[in-house]
Amino acid sequence: MDNLVTPEWVADGARANDLRLVDASWHLPDTGRDARAEYEAGHIPGAVFMDLGELVDPGAATDNTLPTAEKFASRMQGLGLGDGSRIVVYDASAVKTAARAWFMLRLFGAPGVAILDGGLARWKAEGRALSVGRDSLRPRHFTAWRDQRGLRSKADMLANLQSGAQQVVDARGPARFAGSSPEPRPGIAPGHIPGALNVPYTSLYQADGTFKPADSLRAAFTDAGVDLSRPIITSCGSGVTACVLIFALHMLGKDDVALYDGSWAEWGSDPATPKVAAVSA
């Protein structure tokens, strides 16, 4: 299975016993959108709903911190996603949350995961059928496992400031990266991690919501100063859109990439961390 699949591919393989479809939509709180309600109002037939808003560590100080392996495995088993499943994730979100689901599934041990290119919008645009209500699958064992090599902590990021061993690439928009616009979360300072480069996640998509071709993806990184021969850590507001960068780099054959789990929500809320921000006139 390819990393990126089309609606036609999904429709042709929908009856395969090992194929699982997952609606991984999640919306920022200020949008007023209810991802579960939207799923129940219309989703790809056979798809189950992955509640990304619940797949977090409730004891963490920052939003969207990853859950434990045991919690993740338990939730996946309940959805019918397990060892040996081929999984296709999609979303209907402005922040492209299918990439977050793809990253989490792989981090926690699911090897066969793809993203539906263009998401639910493309499925609808092609006039394909939708289901309403909730779909469910028989529970399936999901082995609890977590690859820590794909994650970085604040301590790792502070150490990297000294070593410079890994490039830091921030997925936020240019104004937030520069610190010229305020952060949406209260108590978070503006700006970015010293030395970080900026590749806005939105720059990786075409106008129809599908990913840009490989040459354009590569150019988005190299034009921003990213050296694709060196290791990378991605960051964003709270670890969601940074996963879009990880997926795009994976499509370019680059996998020495890790996620700063706390991202700017953690870094920007700590008065002791160094920050670079625009200076107002």
Segment 15-36 mean pLDDT: 93
78 and 55 co-located in one domain: yes
Count of C-beta atoms within a 10 Å radius of residue 122: 17
Whether 14 and 131 map to the same domain: the answer is: yes
pLDDT in tens, 163-183: 999 999 999 999 999 999 989
Q: Is the pLDDT of residue 15 over 80?
A: no
User: Are residues 104 and 134 both part of a single domain?
Assistant: yes
By residue range, what is the domain housing residue 138? 4-146
**Sheet strand arrangement including 113-116:** 4-5, 113-116, 86-90, 19-23, 48-49
243 is catalytic: no
Mean pLDDT, the chain, integer: 95
Give the per-residue pLDDT at 265. 96
- Residue 280, pLDDT > 60, answer no
The answer to whether residues 55 and 96 belong to one domain is yes
For residue 161, is pLDDT > 90?
A: yes
Last residue of a domain, one of 116, 146, 176: 146
pLDDT digits (tens, 9 = 90+) for 119-159: 999 999 999 999 999 998 899 999 989 999 999 999 999 99
CA atoms within 13 A on the CB side of 204: 31
Same domain, 113 and 154: no
Domain membership of residue 190 (yes or no) is yes
The mean pLDDT of 114-119, rounded to a whole number, is 98
274 in any annotated domain = no
Mean pLDDT of 269-280: 88
Segment 25-31 mean pLDDT: 94
- Indicate if 130 and 13 belong to the same structural domain: yes
Give residue 40's pLDDT.
98
Band of the pLDDT at 281, cuts 50, 70, 90?
very low
The CATH number linked to 177 is 3.40.250.10
204 vs 181: CA distance, rounded Å: 22
- DSSP per-residue letters across 61-129: SSTT----HHHHHHHHHHHT--TT-EEEEE---TT-THHHHHHHHHHTT---EEEETTHHHHHHHTT--
Task: Kindly report the pTM of this predicted structure.
Answer: 0.96
What are the phi and psi torsion angles at 28 (to 5°)?
-60, 145
Structural contact between residues 86 and 10, judged by C-beta atoms closer than 8 angstroms: no
In a shared domain, residues 127 and 244:
no
Which of 80, 112, 146 represents a domain boundary (last residue)?
A: 146
Number of domains in the chain: 2
Q: Domain end: 146, 163, 192, which one? A: 146
Q: Do residues 215 and 180 share a domain?
A: yes
Name the band, by pLDDT with cuts 50, 70 and 90, for residue 279: low
When pLDDT is averaged across residues 196-225 and rounded to a whole number, the result is: 98
Are 90 and 20 within one domain? yes
**Domain for residue 276, yes or no?**
no
Looking at residue 213, the DSSP 8-state letter turns out to be P
CA 114 to centroid of chain Cα atoms: 12
pLDDT band at 16 (very low <50, low <70, confident <90, very high): confident
* Residue at 280 is within a domain: no
Assess whether 64 and 101 both reside in one domain: yes
Among residues 88, 120, 169, 236, the one annotated as catalytic is 236
The pLDDT of 231-237, averaged and rounded, is: 98
Do 59 and 186 lie in one domain? The reply is no
